[in-house]
Every structure is written in C-alpha cells, then in structure tokens.
Amino acid sequence: MLLKLSDVVSGYTDMDIIRGVSLEVHKGEIVTIIGPNGSGKSTLMKTIFGLVRLRSGKIEFDGVDISRLRTDKIVRRGMAYVPQERNVFPSLTVMENLEMGAFIRKDKFREGLEEVLTIFPELKDKTGQKVGTMSGGEQKMVAIGRALVLKPTLLLLDEPSSGLSPKLIDNLFKKLVSINELGTSLMIVEQNAKKSLTVSHRGYVLEMGMKRFEGEGKSLLTNEEVKALYLGG
C-alpha cells in the first residue's frame, strides 16, 4: 500500500467538499479519479498534498500518517503534485523550472534531470528557452518534469490533458505510462475519463464529494451505469 485514505473529510470555510472518502493507491499503480464538475476531485488532491486542511479521517503515505503534515514534509517523503493551472514559471527557462522542482534536494537533481529528459526528449534542446514562449503541450511536459526531478514514488496529476489537442493527449498518456513503468505510481484526476481509465489499473468515481464507484480501470469503462452517467454513454 502506497497511499491510503480513510473516511477523509475536507473543504473550505464552513463547507465540507469531501465527505468521507476512502481509497487506495498501491505501489506501481496508475489510479484515475473521475466524476462530474464540482464533485470534489481537485479538492481531494489538494487535501492529500496538504494544501487543504483535513477535517477528519486519516491519510497514510508509504505507511506513515501524513494527515497533519506540512506540504514540504510530504514532498520530502516522496510525493509530487502537478496542479491543473499555474503549474509553470513562464518567465523562467525550462532548466530553471526543472531546478525549482529540486529546491529541497539539490543532491538528487542531476539524476532526476537525466530521467526527465529521457521521458521528455522534446525538451533536451530547449532547456534555455523561456517556458512562456512554448506551446501548451511543451509547458505540460515542463510541469510534469519539474515534479519528477526528485524521482517521487507517487505523482498526483490534476487534469493533465486539459487544453491539449487529441494528438497531444495521446502522446501525453503514452508518457504517463512510461513514467509509471519507470517506477512512479500515479494518481490522476481527469475529465478525459475514457483515455485515463484505459491506461489505469484502477479507478474511482466521485459524486458530490463521495465515492460512488470503484473498480479496475477497464471494468469501469464497461460498467453500464458509469458509462451512462460519466462517460457519455
């Protein structure tokens, strides 16, 4: 077991957005979370990463209770997070963005950098380019690469395909499978549910902050109720 959530409740101000969610990510897995807009998917990610306060329940990462741990401490334990928006520094170069990902462990940067440029060879000749001048697909690679330079055991991705063309989406998911094959477990929140579930070992469906369905990725794709409600039939 790499990540375990038990009856997690969290939210903003006086409103509970996540209401008693329990789920797991095992070592070596890709797990996708799907659901309608407003179901709490992004809030759940931020709660796991310590960006939204846990109100009740428990979060365990690699056998350690991280329920009250600060985000920087969670990163040091081997978790990384790529938010949907504002996930690059546009005025900095590709290399400077990647270096920012290793600010807490400079000693690991070179090894992690080699792995990132192996996964994203498209960035090798662009390390001096300012990220704000790059395409959306290239910026996405930089954002994910920055999260990978410390070689995390678990990578959280919030809507990684957002804003990308179908061709770039296909390429992105191939990259995510490669990342997983190199030893990093992935937890993905994704609106492109069919694509994400196809490459996932397991998946969960959230609705109104609660877990509605769970199962193997391919079984959720063929579940008639899930298809009708969340996959467009």
pLDDT of residue 150 exceeding 80: yes
Instruction: Provide the pLDDT confidence category of residue 230 given band limits of 50, 70 and 90.
Output: confident
Burial class (CB in 10 A: 0-12, 13-18, 19+), 196: buried
The whole-angstrom separation of Cα 35 and Cα 21 is: 14
Average pLDDT of every residue of the chain? 94
- The pLDDT of residue 229 is 85
Q: With bands split at pLDDT 50, 70 and 90, how would you rate the model's confidence at 152?
A: very high
Other Cβ atoms less than 10 A from the Cβ of 159: the count is: 19
The mean pLDDT of 112-130, rounded to a whole number, is: 94
The pLDDT > 70 percentage for the chain reads: 99
What is the model's pLDDT at position 56? Answer: 97
pLDDT for 215: 96
Q: Which domains does the chain have, with CATH numbers?
A: 1-78+153-168+185-233 (3.40.50.300), 86-151 (no CATH)
Here the tokens at position 211 are: 């877990």
Cα 47 from chain centre: 13
Provide the residue type at 107 as one letter: D
Cβ–Cβ under 8 Å, residues 98 and 145? yes
Mean pLDDT of 168-187: 95
How confident is the model at residue 85, as a pLDDT? Answer: 84
pTM: 0.94
Q: Look at residue 233 in the predicted model and tell me its pLDDT.
A: 55
| CB 116, CB 74: distance < 8 Å | no
pLDDT digits (tens, 9 = 90+) for 22-71: 999 999 999 999 999 899 999 999 999 999 999 999 999 999 999 999 99
- 103 pLDDT more than 90: no
